Amino acid sequence: MNNKFDNNTSEKNQPIWENLKKLKKQLLTAFSDNKFDNETLIELEDVLIMADTGPKTAKEIISNLSEQVSEDSYENSKSARLHLANIINQRLNKLCPNEPISIKKNQLTVFLLVGVNGSGKTTTIGKLAHHFKNNGSKVALAACDTFRAAAKDQLNIWGEENGVTVFSSECSDPSSVAFEAVTNSIEQNIDILLVDTAGRLPSKKNLIEELKKLNRVLTKALSESPLYKWIILDSNTGQNALNQISQFREALDINGLILTKFDGINKAGFLLTLSDLDNLPVMFVGTGESIEDLSVFDAKKVGNNILGIAD
Ligand SMILES: Nc1nc2c(ncn2[C@@H]2O[C@H](COP(=O)(O)OP(=O)(O)OP(=O)(O)O)[C@@H](O)[C@H]2O)c(=O)[nH]1
Ligand SMILES: [Mg+2]
């Protein structure tokens, strides 16, 4: 995996951090006076809201901060900054997975990727195939986006680039394609099957019903084998993401999130809002369009680039 997150030496060349630093600059401006008072709190709340933190989360962060920096003993801005950095880091830590992905040899593990149109599902499948193959797993892909004519071709290109099998069919029912892919994967001793799905708005009832069916069929076909259900979300979705996620969750017990297009993230405050959701760890982050542009979510690094403890 191309660890853009870990590689300190090339940090200068990492536009992903430049984008996060917009928020950092604004937060630091709010702290620029040496005093820290009620006005600073109001200014900070405004900065957070403008960075797409969402009014509820911004309010929570600010009241948390004001509790820690008690009113009659307002400390200097440096120590208040440390408090805020800690609050931000705690929220980002909540986004990290509690346990690693469990991949067993000689047992099929399936990953079902869902999300709205263009969020980056197919590209992420290409990157995940590369990642898991590099870790020694035998990987295959299932072309369950039967909606868009070119979807199969797009997945085939990722299959070729990774040198892995792509299971597809002329059948237009994604559940049948998925069932066949699982059967074939078990026969061929595949370790990991990555299931691509059509982009859909969660408000489209029939498409959500289709997803529920796909989930039912996969769950039955796999019996005891692990089935990961991840939502793929563009990092620039903003507050609308919360609706999207909760609507997808009504259909499917989603247990992970991949944030794509993190290289172009505009408003980092959105990440702080995500931490209000329960049991939705960020499994990976997409940092570009090529096969290696996938990283694990490094909460500390992200936190430091929003408001570094050492600033
Ligand atoms: N910069 C950047 N671009 C990305 C990333 N992930 C995906 N993309 C781009 O986003 C666009 C859409 O990606 P797809 O993988 O086709 O998205 P999708 O969710 O499969 O789209 P549908 O199947 O139409 O719903 C493509 O141009 C990708 O190259 C990322 O992490 N960073
Ligand atoms: Mg796609």
Q: Quick: pLDDT tens for 99-152.
A: 999 898 889 999 999 999 999 999 999 999 999 999 999 999 999 999 988 999
| pLDDT reported for residue 122 | 98
Query: Of 230, 140, 226, which is closest to residue 177 (Cα–Cα)?
Result: 140
Q: What is the mean pLDDT of the chain?
A: 90
Q: Which of 289, 292, 294 has the most ligand 1 atoms within 8 A of CB, as the residue to mutate?
A: 289
120 lines ligand 1 (CB under 6 A): yes
286 lines ligand 1 (CB under 6 A): yes
Domains contained in the chain, CATH given: 15-93 (1.20.120.140), 109-297 (3.40.50.300)
| pLDDT reported for residue 144 | 97
CA distances from 164 to 136, 179, 181, 259 (A): 13, 18, 13, 24
Q: What is the pLDDT of residues 110-122, one digit of tens each?
A: 999 999 999 999 9
User: Rounded CA gap, 41 and 36, in Å?
Assistant: 8
The more confident residue out of 10 and 167 is 167
DSSP state of 202: T
| pLDDT reported for residue 79 | 84
Q: At 267, is the pLDDT very low, low, confident or very high (cuts 50, 70, 90)?
A: confident
Q: Which atom of ligand 1 is nearest to the CA of 154?
A: 16
**Sign of the alpha-carbon dihedral angle for 295, 298, 304, 307:** positive
User: Rounded CA gap, 311 and 294, in Å?
Assistant: 28
Q: What is the pLDDT of residues 181-216, one digit of tens each?
A: 999 999 999 999 999 999 999 889 999 999 999 999
Q: What is the pLDDT of residues 44-75, one digit of tens each?
A: 999 999 999 999 999 999 999 998 887 546 66
